[in-house]
Structure 1
Amino acid sequence: TFVDAKPGAQAANEWNTLRIESRRDAIRVFVNGQPVAEHPGDPARSKTGPIGLQLH
């Protein structure tokens, strides 16, 4: 599942902090302390496996 992130949290040409919270089925992503993406999850999906992250 792809989730579009909110723009503006990423600092150009600087180090950025990425935090991922996974609680039950929901996933929230923060960049530099700002919430940028949220997904309620899908209870029918697998609970194990790889995840992919991409930050532009």
Structure 2
Amino acid sequence: MTTFEYATEILNSDHEKKLNQALQKRGSEGWELVSTVAVGLTHTRLFFKRAVVSNVEAV
């Protein structure tokens, strides 16, 4: 069974370059953007998930 870990990040929505950099960074670390929510008028909360790699095999 696949398990996931989750992360959130709040960024200023007016800075497209910073948003793109954050998405590129998270993506290179294996994170998948799953949702966004506006926070007030100028910020966006990004929700990410990625699969947890386990060295334990199921019996």
Shared fold, TM over 0.5: no
With a CA cutoff of 8 Å and minimum separation of 6, indicate the structure with the bigger relative contact order: 2
Could you say which structure has the higher helix fraction? 2
Structure whose alpha-carbon radius of gyration is higher: 2
TM-score (norm 1): 0.28
Could you say which structure has the higher strand fraction? 2
